[in-house]
Structures are given as structure tokens and as C-alpha cells.
Amino acid sequence: MIVEVKVKPGSKKQDINKINDKEYSVNLKERAENNKANIELLKLLKKHFNAEVKIVKGAKNKNKVVRIG
């Protein structure tokens, strides 16, 4: 499954909000420095979907395309 994720790094809370079947908004506590936000994103999505997760597009962007499964 391929989904689009809008990431908000540096938030006070950490959560995943479903916009529709193919779009999610994710708040992350980590800042977008030294790949820390991407690592936190992958861990959070892996736990949420209980599947392998990989960033396909947008590794250095707030809007990402992620493959799940």
C-alpha cells in the first residue's frame, strides 16, 4: 500500500491522523535534523500498521510518499 504523509516535526505531541484512505498527517516530537524525524516517523508508522515501512519519496520534505507492507 502506498500512502501520502504530511509530517509536522517538532510538535508537542506524537500522533497519526487519518485524512482519508491514502493520506495521513503525522505529528512528531523530533526535529527535522540529522534524519531524526524520519526515523521517528518510520518507527511510529511501523507500530501503527504492524508492517514494514519505507519512505519512497520526499525524505527531505514534509510531504512524503510511504510504502507500507
Cut 0.85: pTM above it: yes
Q: Within the chain, how many helices (H) and strands (E) appear?
A: 1, 5
Q: What is the pLDDT of residues 2-61, one digit of tens each?
A: 999 999 999 999 999 999 999 999 999 999 999 999 999 999 999 999 999 999 999 999
Cell of 59: 525524505
Q: Please tell me the predicted confidence (pLDDT) of residue 18.
A: 96
pLDDT tens figures, 43-58: 999 999 999 999 999 9
C-alpha cell at 15: 500522533
Q: According to the model, what pLDDT value does residue 56 have?
A: 97
Pull the grid cell for residue 47.
507500530
For position 27, what pLDDT does the model report? 97
Domains of the chain, first to last: 2-68 (3.30.1200.10)
State which amino acid sits at residue 39: I
